[in-house]
């Protein structure tokens, strides 16, 4: 017989006769729930179906393929799999298993591509029916077919119905703003719950005194329903493990939240009251009304084995039900239950008891049935904060893909709320039936915003990529940001900056943007920065299909890149235009922006940047090849160049500088090199000129200071001549003979003051002129020079000449003050000079020239000057007092405040 039906099925449908059809339909009649179909339908299936006998591990179809067949499982089992994203290389999620009787592939009715992949788990026997044949059978037996599909879903837990995951992963979720505790939290019940439902219903039906009856309510006939109170009574009687009514109610609620049971009008969660409930299979009246003895025995056995599982689920089901109620409907006892639950949530552990109590009344339970659902998109407005209770989610970032997977207990979605910025990532559910707790923005702002944890860490691929720290609010400070960046990977910091510190929504700033613009060279070379900006700007080029939301996001991001460029060149000025990669990028941007209508508002910004760039390039061309000469001994820095004053002239890396290099016997050579020349080259050239016939490895370039101190240059150091200290001299020497180096006599320093009668000059006028001069020097210093100086010029290969000159000016001023005083032999003149210098410091301070003020005060604090007690005694006490104030001001202990 077995062989006969297979032989019949092996025939081509057009070759089958009535006997074949009878043999096949007999076989189908033994398969529950197919057997429920009328004979005519079974005959039709028998005439058009194909038999497939498959090995383990065969893929029947893949997600995304266009379906052609419907299937029924006659033997063996299969697995339904789902990939969270098409490009996701990670293991797929198993949605459910299909066993004998299951049917699948109904999506062909809707001409939809397959949502999931189906693979055989064991050797399998399948009935395969072509699309047009299945449609005919479906049309004639819609209700029964639907019922078979539902039963199949209940039995298998999920999946084989019409498009269980019909919504594509890119669709927006049904994020229920107001979840309804009367409705199920999953799309279809788990296999355990559906079987438990079947078992309880079978027993209820078998019980002659059962409460499950057909009833007439308000003139309407309702099949097989029962009041909550009676269902509770029945369950209490059924098993000794159920002791209290609350426990029984929890167990029924566990069935209700999975959709196995429901309130007849779908208006109530399970309540131990007279509300009527029924099993889902009774809603359309298709389920049978009687239980066979076999069924009853099987149900009894199942209940004996598995009721404890339902029992354990009760309390959680009750809690979830409460968490889906609106705040005003939660009773004090229910709030207490929630509060106790919140005590166990790690994401809330830093919060005080009173805050957790406040949260109890507003925190909401939310569940999502389908893996692949997008909770929200990167760039969306932030509306809620979430804690993951069950399941997992992928954190996906444009251009990067999945950067992290969050699991039970993790929280997300806070960043947008605390910074009033758009969502920094898209959150995609990785599993079916994810459970979340949600706190909406208005409550978050009211309850949590000011008590948030001090540190917030973002991870990508298991590593911290951004650490934010809460900003302590200072008086008068109106930063829009609650958190500022403490550390991070350069790329993540750039991404965070583009997302939060640029764009229209930013109403106030913290120093992060300026800090990044001015210091990125320390951790992110310009070439890398430009590369990343270009990637952000072109993020649409490898992104074929775009939804309008995607497009809006992309355009927004492009605008941010343009704004970043504008702010960057404004902050770093010529340093940006000195880099060829930056100039190329600016030109590319300008071309692309002009060609893109959606970026028309950005045209004026990029033109402005282009104009600045052109101006700078013209200026550079005019001033190329400047020549500088270090002033000879004792002369002031204003004689540094050929010009009498620096008049805002910037020293550039390719400007030449003329300087001397000495050797041990004090003979010297004069060299002329661009400022960016390395110490190694200078050393080799000087050794050659001074005929020190030694290899470069045996030689060093060294500064000898006036006190005999020596400091050796690294071969890759640049900006050498300007970095010499006041009265320092450059020597080239054999490494082993450093001890033989002595300062030149001229380095001893001046023995006389300058030959000007300072008394005839107005102190205010001197201070004024000094300030103008200092300002010019200061103006020429680029912020980057401070970084090169601090982190080591050799790391960057960049000159610090403008900063060197400015520092030299400070030292010069300081030593000039001391020299003038100690070289004035007349007491009377010295007293006058001391008074004049204190006044000079006061005027400099008044002109806000703190550089000169500090230098003068330090010059006056020189031990050689302080020792002149008689001179100090002769100046009026108000000058002495003023000087004491100045000394206090320069003391580092008070941080110069």
Can you give the binding site for ligand CMP, defined by CB under 6 A? 382, 395, 403-404, 412-416, 423-425, 427, 458-460, 465
786: exposed, middle or buried (C-beta count within 10 Å: 0-12, 13-18, 19+)?
Answer: middle
B/e letters for 235-266, b = 16+ CB within 10 Å, e = fewer, are: beebbeebeeeebbbbbbbbbbbbbbbbbbee
DSSP string computed for 840-883: HHHHHHHTT-HHHHHHHHHHHTSHHHHT-HHHHHHS-HHHHHHH
> Which of 269, 287, 20 is closest to 144 using CA atoms?
287
Angle at 774 between CA 769 and CA 776, to 5 degrees: 100
**Helices (runs of H) and strands (runs of E) counted in the chain:** 31, 29
- Residue 305's Cβ-side half-sphere holds a number of Cα atoms within 13 Å equal to 10
- Radius of gyration of the chain, Cα coordinates, nearest whole angstrom: 42
- To ligand CMP, the closest distance from the beta carbon of 407 in angstroms equals 12
- To ligand CMP, the closest distance from the beta carbon of 465 in angstroms equals 5
d(CA 375, CA 84): 13
Smaller CB distance to ligand CMP: residue 351 or 404? 404
d(CA 522, CA 518): 9
Which whole-number Å values give the CA distances from 7 to 46, 72, 240, 625, in the listed order?
Answer: 12, 18, 53, 96
- DSSP element (H, E) containing 19: helix 18-29
What single-letter DSSP state applies at residue 750?
-
428 pairs with which residues across the strands? 374, 394
> Which of 413, 421, 403 is closest to 496 using CA atoms?
421
270: exposed, middle or buried (C-beta count within 10 Å: 0-12, 13-18, 19+)?
Answer: buried
d(CA 51, CA 367): 40
Classified as helix, coil or strand, 458 is strand
d(CA 699, CA 734): 4
417: exposed, middle or buried (C-beta count within 10 Å: 0-12, 13-18, 19+)?
Answer: buried
Owner of token pair 């000469």: 629
Answer for the pair 299, 207: CB distance below 8 angstroms, yes or no.
no
- To ligand CMP, the closest distance from the beta carbon of 363 in angstroms equals 17
If one counts every other C-beta atom within 10 angstroms of the C-beta of residue 293, the result is 8
d(CA 522, CA 817): 37
If one counts every other C-beta atom within 10 angstroms of the C-beta of residue 297, the result is 13
- To ligand CMP, the closest distance from the beta carbon of 485 in angstroms equals 13
């Amino acid at each position: 017989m077995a062989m006969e039906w297979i032989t019949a099925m092996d025939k081509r449908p057009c070759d089958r006769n009535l006997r074949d059809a009878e043999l096949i339909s007999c076989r189908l009649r033994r398969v529950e729930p197919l057997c429920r179909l009328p004979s005519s339908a079974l005959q039709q299936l028998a005439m058009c179906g194909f038999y497939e006998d498959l090995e383990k591990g065969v893929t029947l179809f893949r997600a995304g393929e266009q379906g052609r067949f419907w299937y029924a499982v006659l033997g063996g089992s299969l697995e339904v799999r789902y990939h969270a994203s098409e490009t996701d290389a990670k293991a797929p999620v198993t949605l459910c298993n299909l066993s004998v009787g299951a049917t699948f592939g109904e999506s062909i009715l809707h001409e939809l591509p397959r949502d999931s992949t189906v693979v055989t788990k064991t050797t399998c026997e399948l009935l395969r029916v072509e699309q047009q044949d299945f449609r005919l059978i479906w049309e004639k037996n819609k209700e029964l077919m639907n019922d078979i599909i539902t039963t199949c879903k209940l039995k298998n837990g999920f999946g084989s119905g019409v498009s269980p995951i019909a919504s594509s992963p890119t669709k927006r979720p049904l994020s229920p703003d107001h979840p309804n505790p009367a409705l199920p939290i999953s799309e279809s019940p788990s296999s355990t719950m559906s079987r438990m439902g079947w078992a309880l219903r079978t027993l209820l039906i078998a019980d002659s005194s059962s409460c499950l009856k057909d009833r007439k309510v308000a003139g309407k006939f309702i099949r097989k329903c029962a009041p909550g109170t009676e269902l509770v009574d029945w369950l209490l009687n059924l098993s000794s493990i159920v002791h209290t009514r609350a426990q029984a109610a929890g167990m029924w609620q566990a069935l209700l939240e999975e959709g196995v049971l429901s309130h007849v009008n779908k208006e109530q969660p399970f309540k131990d009251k007279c509300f009527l409930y029924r099993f889902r299979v009774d809603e359309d009246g298709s389920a049978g009304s009687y239980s066979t003895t076999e069924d009853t025995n099987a149900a009894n056995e199942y209940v004996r084995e598995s009721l404890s599982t339902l029992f354990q689920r009760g309390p959680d089901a009750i809690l979830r039900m409460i968490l889906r109620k609106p705040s005003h409907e939660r009773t004090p006892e229910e709030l207490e239950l929630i509060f106790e639950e919140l005590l166990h949530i790690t994401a809330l552990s830093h919060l005080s008891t009173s805050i957790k109590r406040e949260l109890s009344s507003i925190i909401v339970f939310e569940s999502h049935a389908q893996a692949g659902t997008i909770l929200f998109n990167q760039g969306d407005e932030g509306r809620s904060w979430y804690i993951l209770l069950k399941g997992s989610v992928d954190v996906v970032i444009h251009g990067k893909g999945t950067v992290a997977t969050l699991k039970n207990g993790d929280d997300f979605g806070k960043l947008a709320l605390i910074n009033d910025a758009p969502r920094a990532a898209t959150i995609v559910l990785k599993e079916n039936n994810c459970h979340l707790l949600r706190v909406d923005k208005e409550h978050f702002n009211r309850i949590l915003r000011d008590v948030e944890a001090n540190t917030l860490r973002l991870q990508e691929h298991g590593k911290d990529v951004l650490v934010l720290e809460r900003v302590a609010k200072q008086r008068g400070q109106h930063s829009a940001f609650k958190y500022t960046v403490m550390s991070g990977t350069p790329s993540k910091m750039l991404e965070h900056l583009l997302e939060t510190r640029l764009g229209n929504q930013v109403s106030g700033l913290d120093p992060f943007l300026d800090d990044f613009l001015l210091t990125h060279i320390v951790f992110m070379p310009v070439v890398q920065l430009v590369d990343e900006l270009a990637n952000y700007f072109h993020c649409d080029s490898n992104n074929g299909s775009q939804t309008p939301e995607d497009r809006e996001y992309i355009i927004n991001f492009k605008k941010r890149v343009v704004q970043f460029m504008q702010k960057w060149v404004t902050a770093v000025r010529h340093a940006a235009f000195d880099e060829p990669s930056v100039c190329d990028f600016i030109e590319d941007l300008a071309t692309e922006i002009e060609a893109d209508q959606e970026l028309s508002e950005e045209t004026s910004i990029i033109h402005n940047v282009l104009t600045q760039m052109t101006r700078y390039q013209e200026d550079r061309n005019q001033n190329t090849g400047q020549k500088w000469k270090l002033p000879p001994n004792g002369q002031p820095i204003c004689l540094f160049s050929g010009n009498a004053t620096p008049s805002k002239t910037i020293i550039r890396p390719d400007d030449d500088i003329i300087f001397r290099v000495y050797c041990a016997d004090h003979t010297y050579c004069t060299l002329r090199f661009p400022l960016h020349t390395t110490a190694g080259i200078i050393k080799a050239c000087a050794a050659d000129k001074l005929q020190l016939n030694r290899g470069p490895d045996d030689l060093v370039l060294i500064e000898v200071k006036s006190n005999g101190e020596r400091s050796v240059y690294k071969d890759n150091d640049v900006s050498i001549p300007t970095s010499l200290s006041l009265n320092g001299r450059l020597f080239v020497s054999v490494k082993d003979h450093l001890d033989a180096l002595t300062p030149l006599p001229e380095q001893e320093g001046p023995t006389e003051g300058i030959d000007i009668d300072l008394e005839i000059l107005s102190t205010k006028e001197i201070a004024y002129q000094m300030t103008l001069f200092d300002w010019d020097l200061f103006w020429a210093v680029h912020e980057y020079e401070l970084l090169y100086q601090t982190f080591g010029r050799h790391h960057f290969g960049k000159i610090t000449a403008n900063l060197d000159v400015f520092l030299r000016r400070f030292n010069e001023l300081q030593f000039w003050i001391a020299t003038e005083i100690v070289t004035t032999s007349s007491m009377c003149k010295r007293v006058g000079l001391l008074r004049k210098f204190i006044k000079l410091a006061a005027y400099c301070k008044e002109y806000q020239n703190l550089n000169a003020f500090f230098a003068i005060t330090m010059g006056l604090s020189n031990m050689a000057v302080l020792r002149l007690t008689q001179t100090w005694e002769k100046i009026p006490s108000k000058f002495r007092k003023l000087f004491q104030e100045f000394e206090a001001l320069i003391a580092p202990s008070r941080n110069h405040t």
